[in-house]
Amino acid sequence: MMSEGGENAPNFAGAGGLLPAIAQDAHSGQVLMLAWMNAEAYEETLRTGRAVYYSRSRQKLWRKGEESGHAQQVEAVYVDCDADTILLRVRQTGAACHEGYPTCFFREVTPQGFKVVQDRLVDPASVYKS
């Protein structure tokens, strides 16, 4: 799908192997989530056009939607000025958040404390097995 490498390429080595990757909804502009990529996840994302991250908790590649079906089709990839953050513009199927919300940023900090500012799209119990 897209080329890799070159002086502006993400500097995974300089960051101990993992860089933050932001997924933004290509249609609404909403910031959906932040996850992590290693070089393999990045390359597979470019090659397949589907967002692939690296799960720090599971310590393996995480093909977004592999369990939930809530995959992300990648429309564009950007690398920041310091080559240490990746931005994906994606078409999100279903809910980006494992809690069933459209985005992971469904809690706003307000003077009265944290406030849920989105409606759940799906019941997580219906999406994930145990």
Closest distance between a second copy and the C-beta of residue 71, in Å?
Answer: 18
Q: Is residue 66 part of the contact set for a second copy (CB under 8 A)?
A: no
Whole-number Å distance between alpha carbons of 35 and 33: 7
Q: Are 74 and 50 in contact (CB under 8 A)?
A: yes
Q: Is residue 104 part of the contact set for a second copy (CB under 8 A)?
A: yes
Tell which residue, 9, 7, 58, has the closest CA to residue 35: 58
| x-or-dash string of contact with a second copy, 25-54, rule CB under 8 A | ---xxxx-xx-----------x--------
Whole-number Å distance between alpha carbons of 87 and 84: 10
Written as six digits, the tokens of 31 are 């910031």
Q: Which residues bind a second copy (CB under 8 A)?
A: 1-4, 6, 8-9, 20, 22, 24, 28-31, 33-34, 46, 76-82, 85, 87, 97-99, 101, 104-114, 117
